[in-house]
């Protein structure tokens, strides 16, 4: 299949601004851009599909530009739920530098900062040269703005679409950038940019927009959120092991979609994995492939090997085989149960609610059902203290074959 058809098969095309774009993507050499604002010092897994979209197009001869919004970050893209908190210049500068390094290291894309062409723009020039081309009624009809009219929207956030439109015009003029790509929630901003280009450069200028469906979980919530928080691309914020576990725990109903959107596996390979998944869902072949592909692509084979080693050690109870660094990765994402140090094991089991009574705790312990850090403990009066700490002041306690707990000793 041709490239545009494959993008549709992968579920990466929500809408396009012109039917001509299919031919341009299949046969042209477009310069295009994807933008993000430096609201944090790392991208998260929810951004990953967009970045892979850029790589897919790049592999077929198109040229990606990654825009990190040093200027638009000061303003904030309007959310449907309310005003954003404004970040300080120092935080924005730190976040910009962090994202610049991350994107350059991971993907090698050409990088631009919209602060470079807006920082010296006077308010008079902004209103005369750009604001004059935006009809307020047109702006009010944009979906996100309409959602905010009842609760209220500041003029600052209302003006965001003008700044983003200015970006598209500038990149067209400076780099012959003919296409902007964004999530489906960016449709209003993208079409506003095209409208500005049409009014400033003429209707014959070739410029396009493409939006991608937002990736969600089966319950409709945002993809990239876990019980412990956002899943980041920075391995210092989300370890490769934690990322592997997040993807390994993907719902069966969504794993096929994620394989299409988040990996470079071929249609044939994905079809085969979906068949394996249907035949043996308990073995989770599709989830294993998804987790392995993403971790390897982002962090390399060594990081994937570490994630697999930690997973195997936790599953098999061979916790003593892990290095100190691997132990830290294993413990970091676990839900912690705080318990005082230097208590007898039977008291620990009762106070954490793992056992209902001391009698039950003693029975489990004497029957070889309790392990601390992978080692069986048969003495219910064993003192759980400093000598038992596995990593980060934590002890990993296992009851039976499946119930595992992370105890934080305080």
What pLDDT is recorded for position 121? Answer: 92
Strand pairing category for 336-339 and 343-344: unpaired
Nearest C-alpha neighbor of 238 from the set 312, 294, 315: 294
Fold of domain 225-331: Tyrosyl-Transfer RNA Synthetase (1.10.240)
Number of helical (H) and strand (E) elements in the chain, helices listed first: 20, 15
What pLDDT is recorded for position 134? Answer: 87
What pLDDT is recorded for position 334? Answer: 87
Other beta carbons within 10 Å of 101: 13
CA distance 181 to 190: 8
List the Cα angle 103/73/219 in 5-degree steps: 75
Strand pairing category for 403-409 and 336-339: parallel
Report the binding-site residues for ATP: 225
Report the binding-site residues: 33, 160, 164, 225
**pLDDT tops 90 at residue 48:** yes
141-146 contacts: CB < 8 A, separation 24 or more?
142/188, 142/189, 142/192, 143/185, 143/187, 143/188, 144/78, 144/79, 144/80, 144/185, 144/188, 145/78, 145/188
The Cα-based distances of 41 to 46, 87, 206 in angstroms read 14, 12, 35
Q: Facing residues of 370 across strands?
A: 399
Element (H, E) at 396: strand 394-399
Q: Facing residues of 403 across strands?
A: 399
Residues 330/310, Cβ–Cβ less than 8 Å: yes
What pLDDT is recorded for position 193? Answer: 95
Q: Work out the average pLDDT over 151-158.
A: 84
CA distance 287 to 255: 6
pLDDT bracket for residue 212 (50, 70, 90): very high
Q: What is the pTM of this model?
A: 0.87
Q: Work out the average pLDDT over 187-215.
A: 94
Q: Could you give the percent of the chain with pLDDT greater than 90?
A: 76
**pLDDT tops 80 at residue 99:** yes
Please say whether the dihedral angle defined by the alpha carbons of residues 149, 155, 159 and 160, taken in this order, is positive or negative. Answer: negative
Q: What are the pLDDT digits (tens) for 108-124?
A: 999 999 999 999 999 99
**pLDDT tops 80 at residue 82:** no
Three-class DSSP category at 67: strand
pLDDT bracket for residue 140 (50, 70, 90): confident
Element (H, E) at 66: strand 63-68
Q: Work out the average pLDDT over 180-204.
A: 93
Q: What are the pLDDT digits (tens) for 337-357?
A: 999 999 999 999 999 999 999
The CATH label, of 3.40.50.300, 3.90.550.10, 3.30.429.10, 3.40.50.620, for the domain at 3-212 is: 3.40.50.620
What pLDDT is recorded for position 249? Answer: 92
**pLDDT tops 80 at residue 173:** yes
pLDDT bracket for residue 136 (50, 70, 90): confident
Q: In the chain, where are the structural domains located?
A: 3-212, 225-331, 336-409
CA distance 263 to 329: 24
What pLDDT is recorded for position 310? Answer: 92
What pLDDT is recorded for position 223? Answer: 83
What pLDDT is recorded for position 228? Answer: 67
**pLDDT tops 80 at residue 227:** no
Nearest C-alpha neighbor of 232 from the set 294, 304, 180: 294
114-123 contacts: CB < 8 A, separation 24 or more?
114/35, 114/67, 114/69, 114/70, 114/71, 114/72, 114/163, 114/166, 114/167, 114/170, 115/69, 115/70, 115/71, 116/70, 117/166, 117/170, 118/71, 118/163, 118/166, 119/71
Superfamily of chain region 336-409: RNA-binding S4 domain (3.10.290.10)
The strands making up 336-339's β-sheet, listed across from edge to edge, are 336-339, 403-409, 394-399, 370-372, 375-376
**pLDDT tops 90 at residue 335:** no
pLDDT bracket for residue 161 (50, 70, 90): confident
Report the binding-site residues for L-tyrosine: 33, 160, 164
**pLDDT tops 90 at residue 16:** yes
Q: Facing residues of 384 across strands?
A: 343
CA distance 94 to 168: 25
């Amino acid at each position: 299949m041709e490239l545009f058809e494959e993008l549709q098969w992968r579920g990466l095309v929500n809408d396009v601004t012109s039917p001509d774009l299919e031919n341009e993507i299949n046969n042209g050499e477009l310069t295009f851009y994807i933008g993000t604002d430096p609201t944090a010092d790392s991208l998260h897994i929810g951004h990953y599909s967009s970045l892979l979209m850029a790589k897919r197009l790049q592999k077929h001869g198109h040229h990606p530009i990654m825009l990190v919004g040093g200027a638009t970050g000061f303003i904030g893209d309007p959310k449907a739920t309310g005003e954003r908190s404004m970040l300080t210049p120092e935080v924005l500068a730190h976040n910009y530098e962090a994202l610049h390094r991350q994107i350059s290291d991971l993907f090698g894309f050409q990088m631009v900062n919209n602060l470079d062409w807006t920082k010296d723009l006077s308010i008079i020039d902004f209103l005369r040269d750009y604001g004059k081309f935006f009809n307020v009624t047109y702006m009010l009809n944009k979906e996100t703005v309409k959602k905010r009219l009842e609760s209220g929207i500041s003029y600052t956030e209302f003006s965001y679409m003008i700044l983003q439109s200015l970006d598209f015009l500038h990149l067209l003029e400076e780099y012959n950038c003919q296409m902007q790509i964004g999530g489906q929630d960016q449709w209003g901003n993208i079409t506003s940019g095209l409208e500005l280009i049409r009014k400033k450069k003429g209707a014959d200028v070739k410029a396009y927009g493409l939006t991608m469906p937002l990736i969600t979980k089966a319950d409709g919530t945002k993809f990239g959120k876990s019980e412990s928080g956002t899943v980041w691309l920075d391995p210092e914020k989300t370890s490769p092991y934690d990322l592997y576990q997040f993807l390994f725990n993907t719902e069966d109903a969504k794993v096929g979609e994620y394989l299409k959107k988040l990996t470079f596996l071929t249609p044939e390979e994905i079809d085969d994995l979906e068949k394996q998944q249907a035949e043996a869902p308990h073995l989770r072949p599709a989830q294993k492939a998804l987790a392995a592909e993403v971790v390897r692509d982002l962090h390399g084979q060594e990081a994937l090997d570490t994630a697999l080693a930690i997973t195997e050690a936790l599953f098999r109870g061979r916790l003593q085989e892990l290095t100190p660094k691997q132990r830290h990765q294993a413990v970091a994402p676990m839900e912690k149960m705080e318990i005082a140090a230097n208590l007898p094991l039977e008291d620990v089991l009762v106070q954490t609610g793992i056992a209902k009574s001391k009698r039950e705790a003693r029975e489990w312990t004497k029957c070889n059902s309790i392990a601390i850090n992978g080692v069986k403990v048969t003495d219910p009066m064993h003192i759980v203290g400093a000598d038992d700490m596995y990593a980060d002041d934590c002890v990993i306690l296992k009851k039976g074959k499946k119930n595992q707990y992370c105890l934080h000793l305080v």
